[in-house]
Amino acid sequence: MGNSIWIISLGVSFIVCLVSVPLFRQLAIRTDFLDHPADHKQHAKSTPYLGGAAIFVGILAAVVVGHDTLHSTIIGIAVAILFFTGLYDDKKTLRPFAKLALQGLAAIIVFVVGFHLEAQGVWIHLVSSRAIDLVPTFALFVLMPNCVNLLDNADGLAGGVVGASALGILIESLLRSQFELAIAAAAVLGALMAFLIFNRSPASIFMGDAGSLPLGLVLIVLAVRAGGVLSTPEGAAITLMYVAIPLADTATVFVARIVNGRSIFQGGQDHLSHRLATSGMSLGVSTWLLIVSQAVISAMGALGANGTVSIWFSITVAAMVLVSVMAMGIRPSVSRILYQTTDTVQPVSAS
Which residues are CB-contacts of 214 (< 8 A; sequence separation ≥ 6)?
Answer: 52, 56, 79, 80, 82, 83, 86, 145
What parts of the chain have a pLDDT lower than 50?
A: 121-128, 332-351
> Rounded to whole angstroms, how far apart are CA atoms 98 and 38?
25
Residue 42 confidence (pLDDT): 62
Task: Give the pLDDT score at 334.
Answer: 43
Q: Is residue 51 part of a domain?
A: yes
**Residue 60 included in any domain:** yes
Longest dimension (CA), the chain: 57
- 3-class DSSP state for residue 35? strand
Predicted local confidence at residue 252, as pLDDT: 86
C-beta separation of 61 from 12 below 8 A: yes
Residue 193 has, within 13 A of its CA and on its CB side, a CA count of 17
Q: How many residues does the chain have?
A: 351
- Residue 192 is predicted with a pLDDT of 98
Q: Is residue 269 part of a domain?
A: yes
**For residue 113, how many other CB atoms are within 10 A of its CB?**
14
**Residue type at position 184:** A
202: domain range? 2-344
Task: State the pLDDT at residue 124.
Answer: 42
- From the list 32, 73, 82, the residue with the least C-alpha distance to 53 is 82
Give Cβ neighbours of residue 184 (< 8 Å, ≥ 6 apart). Answer: 9, 63, 68, 70, 218, 222
CA distance to 9, 45, 297, 348, per residue, from 190 (Å)? 8, 28, 20, 21
**Does 349 fall in a domain?**
no
| 89 within domain boundaries | yes
pLDDT at 341: 41
Q: What is the pLDDT of residues 198-212, one digit of tens each?
A: 999 899 999 999 999
Q: What is the pLDDT of residue 277?
A: 77
Instruction: Confirm if 248 and 272 have CB atoms less than 8 A apart.
Output: yes
Distance CA(111)–CA(133), nearest Å, equals 9
Instruction: Answer whether residue 150 is part of any domain.
Output: yes
Name the residue among 42, 144, 45 with its Cα closest to residue 348.
42
* Cβ count within 10 A of residue 3: 10
What CA–CA distance (Å, rounded) separates 107 from 116? Answer: 9
Kindly state whether residue 350 falls inside one of the protein's structural domains: no
Cα–Cα distance for residue pair 143/252, rounded to 1 Å: 14
Number of domains in the chain: 1
Residue 242: inside a domain, yes or no? Answer: yes
Q: Among 213, 111, 109, which residue's Cα sits nearest to residue 162? A: 213
Q: Are 17 and 54 in contact (CB under 8 A)?
A: yes
C-alpha to C-alpha distance for 154 and 4, rounded to whole angstroms? 34
Phi first, then psi: what are they for 186, rounded to 5°?
-65, -35
